[in-house]
Amino acid sequence: MDEASSRIAEVTQASTAGFFAQCYELFDLPPLGSLIKCRDGENEILAVTCNASTSSLEPGRRPIARGKTELTEEDVFRSNPQLKQLLKSEFEGVVLGHSFNNEYYHYLPPRPVKLHSFVYLCTTDEIAEFSRSLEFLSLLTSARTDIPSEELVAACIRFISACHADPSTFTAAAGKKLAQIFVDDYPKLRTILLRLKL
Amino acid sequence: MNQKDSTKLGVVVSGSLSQGILARLDSNTSVEDITVGHLVTIQGNTRRFFGMINDISLETSDPGILLTPPEAGEEFLASVLRGTTTYGTMQIVPYLTLGSDESLIEGPQPVKSIPSHFSPVYLASETDIELVFGKEGSKNFFIGNPLDMEVKLCLDLPEFVTRSNGVFGKSGTGKTFLTRMLLIGILQTDAAVNLVFDMHSEYGWMGTREKASPVKGLKQLFASRVSVFTLDEKSSQERRVSTDFVVHLGYDEIEPADIELLRQTLNLTDQAVSATYQMRQRFGQKWIEKALALESDGETEDVLKSLNIHEATFQNLIRGLNVICRLPFTSPHVETRAVDKVLEYLQSGKHVVLEFGRYRDITAYILVANLLTRRIYSRYRENTEKAMAENRPRPKPLVITIEEAHKFLNPAVAGQTIFGTIAREMRKYNTTLLVIDQRPSGIDEEVMSQLGTKITCLLDSEKDIDSVLAGMSGKSGLKSVIAKLSAKQQALVFGHAVPMPVAFRPRDYGSAESYEQFGKMPAVSDSQDLEDLW
Ligand SMILES: Nc1ncnc2c1ncn2[C@@H]1O[C@H](COP(=O)(O)OP(=O)(O)O)[C@@H](O)[C@H]1O
Ligand SMILES: [Mg+2]
């Protein structure tokens, strides 16, 4: 993946624990639970995507249904080219860690990402490297999101496991780690684990 | 479980010296692989601890799991929970430590402390076992393997025979096989000379084996060092036993004390027992013969009156004496006394097995064992006292093996019998007992507590287990170990001659290979033993 094609979005709101980003292409949203990164000089901040949405650019104005007479959904956009200018695709990134001097740290970076930072998709190698330590699970599981956090955790583990040479081993290890994190919350642990497969 | 030198099982999480150590199993240790009775080492900061696993349990950190446990098909959930939210723990009784200054020189010491939190727990390795129980050698006799281990477990037999010992277990659990092995060990290590009252004729020549051909007896392995005495010549001949002496008892060898022990089996009243003493006083050595003669005599009434014995008591006594006199190996008088013959053999260093042939009823066994032991013991005692007074070496230790020990050592008689005396006097006169019993609860408590080393096979009655463990520390733990031994050829040894309790599988006996191993006399090898010889 080259630099340009992996650059998918731009930060529009940032805080220590996470950020909002708007996609350059409408609907070109990274999948739930995938890993993205922003640069800060030499260093990077890694995050997991969640709460993706596509909505009207103008707050308070909702698009109206236009497809009654169209044959396909694509035809709706073809007949109304202005729509692409009125809509935006956005998502939220929950920070899972950062790199400093080429090393990954699985805790919050000293500063949030800068506004208008570019958002890139992480490569398979980066993801595998970052998730060699399962410590990132503690930020992941404590994320406060609009969607149920069990969903985010499960999606993220599914996504990361696919980047490992042996996905089952990774998933099994992550499961054990989750069991430690949720020692006193069996229902939550159970919900997550039932969304994973070896 | 495989026996690598460092099989880590878990870490210490809590415990106390009195209650034992609780360790949590590592998530990759399957609780199913942990067995009670396994020996473990715990690596503390400054010292190492040796202990035994005596309980295993399943725990969960979240009671919610009990409400909605993983269902069929939720294998991944189950596999994650295993070892994390749900986990195994093991209870360990620590017995020994190694690592403090004195133990470096003296070897493992009894525990006085416990390992700190999170000390790793390992399965004991072969080197650990050798360190604690010693290597096979001229004194250390190889008795079997610790459960699930290859290493040889050894017992210091010269130390073993300094106290009276016991072999217990339900019927068919391997007591006889175990005892035979100990007798061979005592012979091989030259720790003592044996006198075996062989009720079922299975030690001297040919022993029975369940569902298989008979096994060899001691004399077949050590022809020149073992002699077989028999009470039943006919049975011995039929079994083609090469016997050394046929035992007959003269009535005139029987003393009132011998009768007293038979009170129960002969159904004698208390009065009848005390009458024996009066008769002995009145009639002298031939009292039995004379008492029996009285019956047909006209003067009976006068004699009884003068002795103040009731007619009913007399009849009761006569019935009892008749039982004895009907035993085919008794007669009014015999020329060569068995006692002298046994002593002669023992003193020349020969081991004596006395087989009972068909006379397995308990009257014969108690009568003969008690009568011979009383005389032999008093002779041994004289010899020992004389040797001590004259500053000569004491006679070689004597180990007397008796079966059905509760008949001799039950609370009603233990106070009076010679066996009770020997058990209590310990090593004083170089004579000790090896008692074999399937119902240890029938044995007097005090005698049980005097036994130095106890080896017990499976026992399932609570009472029996309690009596075997009486006075042991960490009793409740050992209880579960004894109750979980397998039904054959597994035993727990603890007490005087072993530094800590250990469950083991006794050596196999009965194959050609085993005879070769057991039949060998070990060469004196280690330099230390050479020094001992000097
Ligand atoms: N060490 C052993 N080697 C071989 N077989 C054994 C051993 N211990 C026990 N057995 C088997 O178990 C059976 C019962 O053992 P035994 O010693 O006669 O029991 P007990 O004397 O307790 O009634 C034996 O006949 C034999 O088949
Ligand atoms: Mg037996």
What are the pLDDT digits (tens) for B318-343? 899 999 898 889 988 888 888 999 99
- The answer to whether residue B523 scores a pLDDT higher than 80 is no
Please identify which residue in the block is written with the tokens 């006399």: B521
Q: How far apart are the first and last CA of chain A?
A: 28
Mean pLDDT of all residues belonging to chain A:
92
The predicted-structure confidence for B74-95, as pLDDT tens digits, reads as follows 888 888 888 888 899 999 999 9
- The answer to whether residue B4 scores a pLDDT higher than 50 is no
Residue whose C-alpha is closest to residue B355's, from B193, B166, B196: B196
Residue ranges of domains in chain B: 8-124, 154-222+336-533, 251-330
Residue B277: predicted pLDDT: 92
Asked whether B444 and B414 are in contact (CB, 8 A), the reply is: yes
Please give the average per-residue pLDDT across A17-27, as a whole number.
94
Residue B65: predicted pLDDT: 87
Residue B494: predicted pLDDT: 94
The predicted-structure confidence for B257-294, as pLDDT tens digits, reads as follows 888 888 888 889 998 998 899 889 888 888 888 888 87
Q: Which ligand is nearest to the CA of B170?
A: 1
Q: How far apart are the first and last CA of chain B?
A: 44
Task: pLDDT band for B426, please (50, 70, 90 cuts).
Answer: low
Amino acid at B102: E
A66/B contact by beta carbon, under 8 A: no
Nearest to B76 among A186, A187, A198 (CB): A198
Of B68-72, B279-283, B528-532, the poorest mean pLDDT is in: B528-532
- The answer to whether residue B534 scores a pLDDT higher than 50 is no
- The answer to whether residue B296 scores a pLDDT higher than 70 is no
The predicted-structure confidence for A61-113, as pLDDT tens digits, reads as follows 888 898 899 999 999 999 998 888 899 999 999 999 999 988 999 999 999 99
Residue B51: predicted pLDDT: 93
Q: What residues form DSSP beta bridges with B155? A: B141
Residue B180: predicted pLDDT: 94
Entry pTM: 0.80
What helix, strand, coil percent values describe chain A, rounded to 5? 30, 30, 40
Higher pLDDT, B532 or A31: A31
The predicted-structure confidence for B55-65, as pLDDT tens digits, reads as follows 999 998 888 88
From CA B158, how far away is CA B186, in angstroms rounded?
8
Task: pLDDT band for A42, please (50, 70, 90 cuts).
Answer: confident
Residue B104: predicted pLDDT: 59
From CA B510, how far away is CA B215, in angstroms rounded?
5
Task: Name the token pair of A174.
Answer: 């992550």
- The answer to whether residue B529 scores a pLDDT higher than 60 is no
Dihedral of CA B410/B411/B413/B415: which sign?
positive
**Exposure string for A157-191, b = 16+ CB within 10 A, e = fewer:** bbbbbebbeebeebbbebbbbbbebbeeebebbbb
The predicted-structure confidence for B142-165, as pLDDT tens digits, reads as follows 999 998 888 999 999 999 999 999
Share of chain A above pLDDT 90, in %: 78
Mean pLDDT of all residues belonging to chain B:
87
Asked whether A188 and A148 are in contact (CB, 8 A), the reply is: no
Please give the average per-residue pLDDT across B5-18, as a whole number.
88
Distances (CA, A) of B15 to A83, B47, B86, B505: 71, 17, 20, 29
- The answer to whether residue A163 scores a pLDDT higher than 90 is yes
Residue B257: predicted pLDDT: 86
B405 CA → ligand 2 middle, Å: 12
Residue B522: predicted pLDDT: 56
Task: pLDDT band for B196, please (50, 70, 90 cuts).
Answer: very high
B199 CA → ligand 2 middle, Å: 9
Please give the average per-residue pLDDT across B463-482, as a whole number.
86
Residue B74: predicted pLDDT: 87
Distance of CA B285 to the CA centre of its chain: 36
From CA B47, how far away is CA B368, in angstroms rounded?
53
Task: pLDDT band for B477, please (50, 70, 90 cuts).
Answer: confident
Higher pLDDT, B284 or B120: B120
Closest atom, ligand 1, to C-alpha of B170: 22
Nearest to B65 among A172, A186, A197 (CB): A186
**Ligand 1 residue neighbourhood (C-beta within 6 Å):** B 169, 171-177, 209-210, 488-489, 506-510
Burial bucket for residue A7 (CB in 10 Å: 0-12, 13-18, 19+): middle
- The answer to whether residue B2 scores a pLDDT higher than 50 is no
Residues of chain B neighbouring A185 (CB-CB closer than 8 A): 62
Residue B145: predicted pLDDT: 93
From CA B511, how far away is CA B519, in angstroms rounded?
12
Residue B159: predicted pLDDT: 93
The CATH superfamily holding the domain B154-222+336-533 is P-loop containing nucleotide triphosphate hydrolases (3.40.50.300)
- The answer to whether residue B527 scores a pLDDT higher than 50 is no
- The answer to whether residue A4 scores a pLDDT higher than 70 is no
Higher pLDDT, B192 or B475: B192
From CA B303, how far away is CA B280, in angstroms rounded?
13
Please give the average per-residue pLDDT across B383-391, as a whole number.
87
Q: Do A179 and B81 touch (CB under 8 A)?
A: yes
Interface A–B counts its CB contacts (< 8 A) at 48
Task: pLDDT band for B297, please (50, 70, 90 cuts).
Answer: low
B354 CA → ligand 2 middle, Å: 15
From CA A47, how far away is CA B271, in angstroms rounded?
100
Task: pLDDT band for A48, please (50, 70, 90 cuts).
Answer: very high
Closest atom, ligand 1, to C-alpha of B209: 25
A40 CA → ligand 1 middle, Å: 78
- The answer to whether residue A36 scores a pLDDT higher than 90 is yes
A157/B contact by beta carbon, under 8 A: no
- The answer to whether residue B118 scores a pLDDT higher than 70 is yes
Question: Up-side HSE of residue A131: CA atoms within 13 Å toward CB?
Answer: 31
Maximum mean pLDDT: which of B104-108, B335-339, B502-506: B502-506
Higher pLDDT, B510 or B23: B23
ipTM above 0.90, yes or no: no
